[in-house]
Amino acid sequence: MLALQLAWRFLREGRTQSLLILAGVTIGIAAFVFVSAIIEGLQVNLLEQTLGSQAHISVAPEEAPPRPLMRDPGIAFARRIEPSEPRRRPFDQWQRAVRRVEATDGVVAVCPKVSGSALAYRGAAEEAVKVVGADAARLRRIVDIPANLVDGQYRLGGDEAVVGTSLAEKLGAGVGDPIRVRSGDRESVLRIVGIFDIGNEMVNGRWLVTSLRNAQTLLGRVGDITEIDARVADVYEAERIAREVEARTGVPTESWMERNRDLLTGLRSQDASTTMIRIFVLLAVAMGIASVLSVSVVQRRGQIGILRAVGTSRAIVLGVFLWQGVLFGLVGALLGALVGALAGELIESSALFDITVTPRLLLTALAVSLATGVLAAYLPARRAARLDPAAAIRGDE
């Protein structure tokens, strides 16, 4: 308690010096919070855009290799086999695989689905589409279509289908309109009940979502599915969970991290540069605190000697300077967080993504600032505690 009381009085006495270094710590922590919030906001936005329309994990049997149509072994001729439209092998015992994926730690949602290419017609308009068939309730936990509906409803019963805004526009169709969908020699007529805008042109322009049964019939996969999609609680754990799912099901499994290696590399590079900025900012803050406290120890040699002479222990003298570091760190963190959050608010209106100063970021800034304050204060504090009181009182070096 005495150490804290004396620390406060020392800071109050050297008011100008204290305010200057406090301003330095505040600016440093504000920069820390601001840069972290921006990068975090940017990354969350990028991830949302990327993962908003795709599963974190996809479990799907290998594609069947293309086969030559001519099979007469007695005839030799030069040939080149062009890969046809990817056609997956049947998903054996997919219901059991779904249960195994659901039972894997970290998985929060599972959706068996069937997807494949088809052509959609309305009047003279003809568009290539990706038919996605799934249970409506399960699919919305993987891709939140209801939250992105711009017209109609999210229902996948009977002949109902929902499509993206771009596809609806290209087909000239609206809610309530029927469209013909053809895949190979199979054809269905579906009725558009909802139009969504998921923020991804590939999805908005191609997806035609309908019930699992409709899609199975249309794509010639009755009773079968093409993949199992899953969502995990922590997106950065997806790769590890994917390997576990693969081991449990015995079916090839791919995570979003594998599918989006370039994005992941970009995010990691961003993380590395943010970390470097944070380290340099904290080093500047630490050096500021350390230099001010070092000067303070020199200036107060006589006072430290008197404190020791009147019975103050070395531990308390050490504490006096450590507390100063703590107070700089604490007050600087609070003011810096406020300034950083305000700066984030100011810039958010011109940014294309949310800049949110989360409680976790504030707690991190507080902890980092306190640790920096204490570490920066340690050397000057140790020097003060080790001063020879007799020499300090005499004013000797």
Partner 1 sequence: MTITPALLELEGVRKSYGDGVKTEVLHGIDLRVQQGDLVALVGPSGSGKSTLLNLIGLLDRPTEGRIAIDGQAAEQLDDRALTALRGDKLGFIFQSHHLLPGLSVLENVMLPSAASHGGFRAGMRAPAKELLSAMGLGDRVGAWPRQLSGGMQQRVAVARALMNDPPLVLADEPTGNLDTETSNQVFDLLRQRNAERATAFLIVTHDPAIARRCDRVVELVDGAIVYEGGPSGMKSWD
Interacting residues toward partner 1 by CB under 8 A: 1-2, 5, 9-10, 12-14, 302-303, 305-314, 316, 388-390, 393-394
The least CB distance from residue 17 to partner 1, in Å, is: 12
Q: Looking at beta carbons only, is 11 or 209 nearer to partner 1? A: 11
CB of 296 to partner 1, least distance (A): 11
**Alpha carbon 254 to chain centroid, angstroms:** 18
Q: Residues with Cβ < 8 Å from 361, sequence gap 6 or more?
A: 33, 36, 37, 40
Question: Please, what is the minimum distance in Å from the beta carbon of residue 46 to partner 1?
Answer: 52
- In the complex, the smallest distance separating the C-beta of residue 24 from partner 1, rounded to whole angstroms, is 21
Nearest to 256 by CA among 94, 69, 46, 10: 46
Does residue 87 contact residue 64 with C-beta atoms inside 8 Å? Answer: yes
CB of 12 or CB of 261, closer to partner 1: 12
Q: Residue 246: which H helix or E strand, with range?
A: helix 238-249
The distance of closest approach from Cβ of residue 353 to partner 1 in the complex, given in angstroms and rounded to an integer, is 48
Minimum CB separation of residue 317 from partner 1 in Å reads 10
Q: Which residues pair with 181 in a beta bridge?
A: 120, 188
User: Which of 220, 218, 195, 213 minimizes the C-alpha distance to 113?
Assistant: 213
- At a CB cut-off of 8 Å and minimum separation 6, what does 81 contact? 66, 67, 68
CA separation, residue 185 to residues 10, 114, 119, 126, 300 (Å)? 88, 18, 11, 16, 92
395: alpha, beta or left, given left = phi > 0 and alpha = psi -120 to 50? left
What is the CB-side half-sphere exposure of residue 39 using CA atoms within 13 A? 20
Nearer to partner 1, 291 or 313 (CB): 313
Q: Which is nearer to partner 1, 1 or 76 (CB)?
A: 1
What string of DSSP letters covers 170-230?
Answer: HHT--TT-EEEEEETTEEEEEEEEEEE--S-HHHHHHEEEE-HHHHHHHTT-TT--SEEEE
- Asked if residues 43 and 354 have their Cβ atoms less than 8 Å apart, the reply is no
Nearer CB in complex with partner 1: 13/126: 13
The nearest distance, CB 389 to partner 1, in angstroms, is: 5
Tell me which long-range contacts 359-366 makes (C-beta under 8 A, separation of at least 24).
361/33, 361/36, 361/37, 361/40, 362/33, 362/337, 364/36, 365/29, 365/32, 365/33, 365/36, 365/333, 365/336, 365/337, 365/340, 366/330, 366/333, 366/334, 366/337
Nearer to partner 1, 205 or 305 (CB): 305
- Residue with Cβ nearer partner 1 (5 or 93): 5
* Closer of 81 and 391 to partner 1 (Cβ): 391
User: Contact at 8 Å (CB) between 113 and 134?
Assistant: yes
Cβ-based nearer residue to partner 1, 14 or 373: 14
From the CB of 1, what's the least distance to partner 1, in Å?
3
Task: Kindly state the smallest distance separating residue 373's Cβ from partner 1, in Å.
Answer: 20
Kindly state the smallest distance separating residue 351's Cβ from partner 1, in Å.
Answer: 46
Closest CA to 141 of 112, 121, 166: 112
Which one, 12 or 360, has the nearer CB to partner 1?
A: 12
